[in-house]
Amino acid sequence: MNSDIVRVLAPQVLGILVRRGNDFATAEDAVQEALLQAHRTWGETPPDDPKGWLLTVAGRKLIDARRSEAARRRREEALDHEPEPGRAEQADDTLLLLFLCCHPELSPASAIALTLRAVGGLTTKQIADAFLVPESTMAQRISRAKRTVGQQSLRQPGDVAVVLRVLYLIFNEGFSGSVDLAAEAIRLTRQLLLACDEPEVAGLLALMLLHHARRFARTDADGVLVPLDQQDRTLWNETEIAEGVRILQSALAHDRHGEYQIQAAIAALHDDARTPAETDWPQILQWYDALLAIADNPLAGLSRAIAVGEVDGPQAGLKAVAELESRLGDHHRLDAVRAWLHERAGNLDAAVEHYRRAAERARDTAERDHLVKQADRLNRSIA
């Protein structure tokens, strides 16, 4: 059985069943039973209408579960005579399912798990492995999420911003366990863009593609983090970059700039530079100013301080960092940026101290190792 076909069709079938008024958890169970039956009967050759087959079988599973002869007749008649949804309706079903899985009543962790399970088609074990938790724990999390969304009214409009945040969180998990969550997030965002022609959806997809294009250059053979300005740019995926730029240009043409579009524009300027020296830092700084005007995020302000350091010099960058100190507290990236700027200014002793402080508080192993490596490198140059 072609797993790619199943992963595309299963969320559509589930969306149709939920739209028809069926309970989310019951409908999801019916779809899973239909998939098991398809696995047993299809072999390598699916039927001419695989989605119709899955929809019919899942519908019959729902009917059987109710054990009502009257309900059986009514629902079987509906399944036999209701026309198959067209492309627009399929898009609506995908959108409905994403909104349900990313409902504001769910915690981000639960929304991510339910989205990967119901829309992404991943197994509970795959999701558990990706987030380094026991399968039983993830199963409980998904079950609670199903109960929560099963109690929600479908008349309330969904919030695209919530869906985008969940998809971005999935993307940022990267490759974990047996699943490339970044690639999965890109696939799901493509589906959302088909269902929801919003500039910010396109902006998020562009941002993902432009970052994903650098994945093979991001670490060396030993798994050590490689900074952007030291990456081998021949390893960047030019096809993904070109697609990301095309999607971004289309989104920006609507002249309704949002956070993801602006972040994508910054990523595109980095990807467009053949060498670090060719990076258009003045334009990047302008985009950071635009970003902070609509999303006053201190971490974005820290990235802006790097751009200030490139445009106006490291002392100006350090001044910009100092303005963020009260808001970021002891965040390790505050010291990491200070270290980089002090190094650029020739203050090597101060740079070593800040690299060490940043390493002590960094949670990510690859990032911590990189910071330690930078401190050791400068120490050797001082000696």
Each residue of 5-42: b (16+ CB within 10 Å) or e?
A: ebebbbbbbbbbbbbeebbbbbbbbbbebbbebbeeeb
What element of type H or E holds 122? none
Tokens of 357: 């402080």
Domain positions in the chain are 1-83
Instruction: Supply the pLDDT for residue 299.
Output: 93
CB 358 within 8 A of CB 371: yes
C-alpha–C-alpha distance, residues 105 and 148, integer Å? 7
Q: List Cβ neighbours of 362 (8 Å cut-off, separation of 6 or more).
A: 332, 336, 368, 371
pTM for the full predicted model: 0.78
Alpha-helical runs (H) found in the chain = 3-19, 24-41, 50-66, 69-81, 87-101, 108-114, 124-130, 135-150, 160-172, 181-195, 199-212, 238-252, 259-272, 281-294, 298-312, 314-322, 325-328, 332-345, 348-361, 365-382
For helices 69-81 and 50-66, what crossing angle results, to 10°? 170
Distance separating alpha carbons of residues 328 and 302, to the nearest angstrom: 9
Residue 61, amino acid: K
Residues of the chain with pLDDT under 50: 68-91
- What are the two backbone dihedrals, phi and then psi, of residue 329, each rounded to the nearest 5 degrees? 60, -125
Which sign, positive or negative, has the C-alpha torsion 259, 8, 113, 219?
A: negative
Tell me the backbone φ, ψ of residue 51, rounded to 5 degrees.
-70, -45
- pLDDT in the model for residue 156: 53
Q: Express each pLDDT in 167-208 by its tens digit.
A: 998 898 876 556 788 998 998 899 889 878 889 999 999 999
Task: Give the pLDDT of residue 224.
Answer: 83
Instruction: Confirm if 31 and 10 have CB atoms less than 8 A apart.
Output: yes
- The 10s digit of each residue's pLDDT in 272-327 is 999 999 999 999 999 999 999 998 899 999 999 999 999 999 999 999 999 999 99
